[in-house]
Structure 1
């Protein structure tokens, strides 16, 4: 299964001229046209922690498909200065990349919302535990984010629970990336926060806070 996805990612990279799913240049998405619908969902900075909360608007277009229920909204927090970046149908991963955000000085993030039936049958009311344990999930789906095998690159793994939903959290090295994974309805959610070496060194705490703030609501 992982080999099939890697083959698809490699083929797409050859067509688009981008090396991997999560780390394609932001300029590509901004220039390809046929952009997914973009509806504001970012709050004003919170008075306590000065973070802004993004919540996926209920009526945002994209990713529904024939036979699929509307995407269950998700949310996360970012410092001021992070902004939405247009997602193109030419992006690797196609319509499964639901959202991109970036700050040119700090890093970037994206959200993959994939149908669970790509990975398992009879999971119309999926939980991440039904899909697998943390090791199985990162081995199978880490390449969806990095475009390459993640064996030996996982620095840490954690499990968190919020409002009865379980989240798997991973930190990977080179490329530096945090991945938060969960499932809801009939979809798998992969939330990736990444940065280059200098950004990672300077903004590690903020990047980790962003990654840990992801919720399906």
Structure 2
């Protein structure tokens, strides 16, 4: 028999979960808030009634933290945004193939600093089972990571929305071609995604056009990752889809389809 301990990491807005062994007939559970002491319950095994009381107490403690806990099995991650308890805003109902389309809501706020113009919305498709994961201010890339999604069995993705003025002063109406050719873009911005130089890691690259906008598409290894890059307004968009080795082998086709579905709308 085992229980779960839910802990708050001070460097992230996510909860971390880990299993904790029980000693013989005793059970313990804790819910820890960012600025509250841990609330714990210990009991002897006394049947279903006590178990129900224990669950109610833990649920009340989680509510006191002002958070909705959503676990991601296998990832050790849980979200703390109440909106995640239901259907994600911007995520459509499944189509006939079970895929959903996410479109960034026009009024969605983002941690992109004072003075930013509204972000031109983007969209992409994911299979059933992919869910939004809250973005932490502690994330590598800081406020430029606009969105995360994940499926614990298949992989994860994130969207980087970076100001073009980081790269050029005269690109208020940017296109990816103005920023550079595919080789220049992946060499300059690939490290933004994988955290290291991309030399020797680019397996393939392609160029696609949709509604008059050009997209650069790359596959890198290692790590296993698809990157789609484009530009619009005064921003560069980097869409990254990645997975571990086993996930990549089993879900390669779907991961590639997710990466190629990215559009700035």
TM bin, normalised by shorter chain, reads 0.7 to 0.9
Count of residues in Structure 1 that have an aligned counterpart in Structure 2: 214
| Post-superposition offset of 1:113 | 0.2
Unaligned 5+ segments in structure 1 are none
Higher relative contact order (CA 8 A, sep 6+): 1
Q: Which is higher, the Rg of structure 1 or of structure 2?
A: 2
Q: Normalising to structure 1: TM-score of the pair?
A: 0.82
Aligned to 2:77: 28
| Post-superposition offset of 1:90 | 1.1
Q: Normalising to structure 2: TM-score of the pair?
A: 0.67
| Post-superposition offset of 1:97 | 0.3
| Post-superposition offset of 1:65 | 2.8
Give the counterpart of 2:144 among 96, 111, 115. 96
Alignment of structure 1 residues 1-217 onto 2, 5 Å? 30=79, 40-48=89-97, 52-217=100-265
The change in CA–CA distance for 1:35 and 1:9 in structure 2 (over 3 A counts) is same
Query: Is contact 2:135–2:148 with CA below 8 Å preserved after alignment?
Result: yes
The change in CA–CA distance for 1:87 and 1:161 in structure 2 (over 3 A counts) is same
27-36 vs 103-112, greater mean Cα deviation: 27-36
| Post-superposition offset of 1:10 | 38
Query: Is contact 1:97–1:110 with CA below 8 Å preserved after alignment?
Result: yes
Bigger share in helix? 1
Tell me which stretches of 4 or more aligned residues in structure 1 moved more than 4 Å: 1-39
Unaligned 5+ segments in structure 2 are 1-49
Q: C-alpha root-mean-square deviation of aligned residues, in Å?
A: 11.0
Query: CA deviation digits over 1:63-84, x for unaligned, max 9?
Result: 4433321000000000000000
Query: Is contact 2:224–2:242 with CA below 8 Å preserved after alignment?
Result: yes
Bigger share in strand? 2
The change in CA–CA distance for 1:202 and 1:213 in structure 2 (over 3 A counts) is same
The change in CA–CA distance for 1:89 and 1:174 in structure 2 (over 3 A counts) is same
